[in-house]
Amino acid sequence: MRRAGLLFMMSLIAGLVAVGSVAGADQDGVEICHVHQDGHEDSPEWQLIEVKNQKSLDKHLEHGDAFPGDPVPGSDGQVFDAECKPLGGTDTIAYYDCFDLETGKVVGDIRDGSGCEAAWDFYFGYNAQTTPHAFVVQNQRQGAQIAYSEEPFADVTIEDVETLEFSGSIIDTAFDQVAVVLTADGKYFKLALESEVFSDVTFHWAPLA
């Protein structure tokens, strides 16, 4: 009788531990990029939400939601940043155009008298002595840093930043490797050259999240 009672208590404790583990897993949750109900099929709006259990997560992923850092469904090369903002793709800008990676926009020309807005992250300088001619100049004044990776563009992930040597100085090297820019806002972006002509540079870029 005493043995049966002991077994019952052990089973009860085990059950409570199991329930507690499940509840703990649910409470942790998982952050995903969810299509907002106000979005449209041609231009969906995304928002960062937290999903509490595996069943809900599976349902979200089935209808097209994704994780931060994943490719944006239906886009041409865009990737979700940590806040589920679609960024990246392929752009063409002129040499010395200041580019803001957080918005994906050109915010001035460094050669203009008025210069560029404070928010810019990099521009492409031109070096006639190298091939390719383009090299990446980060916004030193705002504290941006840069590093280079020998890995292919698609293989460079947020985990790789710990192995890279970032510099706050301008690295006047030809843009023939993947550049990783650490912005003044503490965000990482990767850049890779697609092509260049006399006045313009076409490049791939994406956030690392």
pLDDT (tens digit per residue) in 148-161: 999 999 999 999 99
pLDDT band at 42 (very low <50, low <70, confident <90, very high): low
pLDDT (tens digit per residue) in 2-31: 545 444 444 544 444 334 433 433 557 899
Residue 93, strand partner residues: 201
Out of 112-116, 127-131, 136-140, 179-183, pick the least confident: 112-116
Domains of the chain, residue spans: 2-67, 86-208
| Short-list 187, 129, 165, CA closest to 205 | 187
- Record the pTM: 0.74
Would you list the DSSP string of 15-71?
HHHHHHHHHHHHHH-EEEEEE-TT--SSS--EEEEEE-SHHHHHHHHHTT-B-TTSB
